[in-house]
Amino acid sequence: MSGTSDAHSIVEPGPTSRRVASVVVIVYALVSMVPLAWIVMTGFKSPDTAIAYPPEVVFEPTLEGYVNLFTDRTRQTPEYMADLPPPETWYDELVRSRNMVITGPSRFFGRYKNSLIIGFGSTFLAVFLGTLAAYAFSRFRVPLKDDLLFFILSTRMFPPIAVAVPIYLMYRALGLSDSHFGMIILYTAVNLSLSVWLLKGFVDEIPREYEEAAMIDGYTRLQAFWKVVLPQMSAGIAATAIFCLIFAWNEYAFALLLTSGNAQTAPPFIPIIIGEGGLDWPAVAAGTTLFMLPVVIFTVILRRHLLRGITFGAVRR
């Protein structure tokens, strides 16, 4: 080994590889950030600058997109506008500068609420059921365990939309179309296989001795699960919850197919926000920006758990 020029350890990357790796990571980060930055920027543009060519990177920011996103407006004659009392709020003023008046709130808020209910509801259910199933698969002698696990995984072997037609017919027959409950159980069903498999891996890593010790110390299995196993699974649960939420939150095809009014989520709604003479791009971008926020916040909150990993320290292997 003494003859080599590099004096670093063979497992640690050398300075050159480190530099190359950083450049690659930075380039990748930039490439993924540019579209996001563009969306956030467009949200603060006026409808004209949003479609200007060549695109404007430096522009005067306006909240028009956000106002348009949250309101319904109608165009009025100049005489009507002149007769109005002075605007009461900054957004009234902004809308009137376009010769329009606000007629009421838009449907965006309701769609956003639907997304929150369905996204977090199905995530909770998928993780809750997945945790129990994963524990059972990991700890109990379940008959046909391997077949069952394969069967569960097989629901992931085709794109969910492949079963769109049967689901559509089924939901229509059962009266589940365009209902929150229907969408929650649909997303739960799709996410459950991922959740069971991911979580089973995490439960497998937790030594049985923990529960056995607790059961000898005077606890029932359920109490031992709650007090000892669940805290150990927190990292796995966090990771699984993020994956489930991202799927349920972003899902477009089923939402478009199965929901229209009552339970419509934000993804099918945002792209069809119409302004004057076509799509209202700043409003679409504003909606998209707000739509990204919950997943970003959720991920940032749970990131600590993701990075912390699982401590096996108290049991030597």
Distance CA 269, CA 262 (A): 12
Cβ atoms of residues 199 and 236 within 8 Å: yes
The angle formed by the CA atoms of residues 285, 288 and 292, to the nearest 5 degrees, is 140
Stretch near another protein under the rule CB under 8 A, chosen from 48-56, 189-197, 202-210, 299-307: 202-210
Report if residue 314 touches another protein, rule: CB under 8 A: yes
Report if residue 317 touches another protein, rule: CB under 8 A: yes
Report if residue 145 touches another protein, rule: CB under 8 A: no
Say which amino acid occupies 4: T
Q: How many residues does the chain have?
A: 317
Put residue 99 in one of left, alpha, beta given phi > 0 → left and psi -120 to 50 → alpha. left
Q: Residue 101: enclosing H or E segment and its boundaries?
A: strand 100-105
Report if residue 315 touches another protein, rule: CB under 8 A: yes
Report if residue 59 touches another protein, rule: CB under 8 A: no
Report if residue 16 touches another protein, rule: CB under 8 A: no
If we measure between CA atoms, which residue out of 93, 131, 153 comes closest to residue 237?
131
Report if residue 276 touches another protein, rule: CB under 8 A: no
Report if residue 212 touches another protein, rule: CB under 8 A: yes
Report if residue 226 touches another protein, rule: CB under 8 A: no
Among 67, 134, 203, 228, binds another protein (CB under 8 A): 228
Cβ atoms of residues 194 and 239 within 8 Å: no
Residue 53 vs 141, nearer CB to another protein: 141
Report if residue 316 touches another protein, rule: CB under 8 A: yes
Report if residue 240 touches another protein, rule: CB under 8 A: no
Cβ atoms of residues 152 and 196 within 8 Å: yes
Among 68, 122, 232, 288, binds another protein (CB under 8 A): 232
Q: Which residues of the shown chain bind another protein in the complex (CB under 8 A)?
A: 207, 209-210, 212-220, 223, 228, 231-232, 311-317
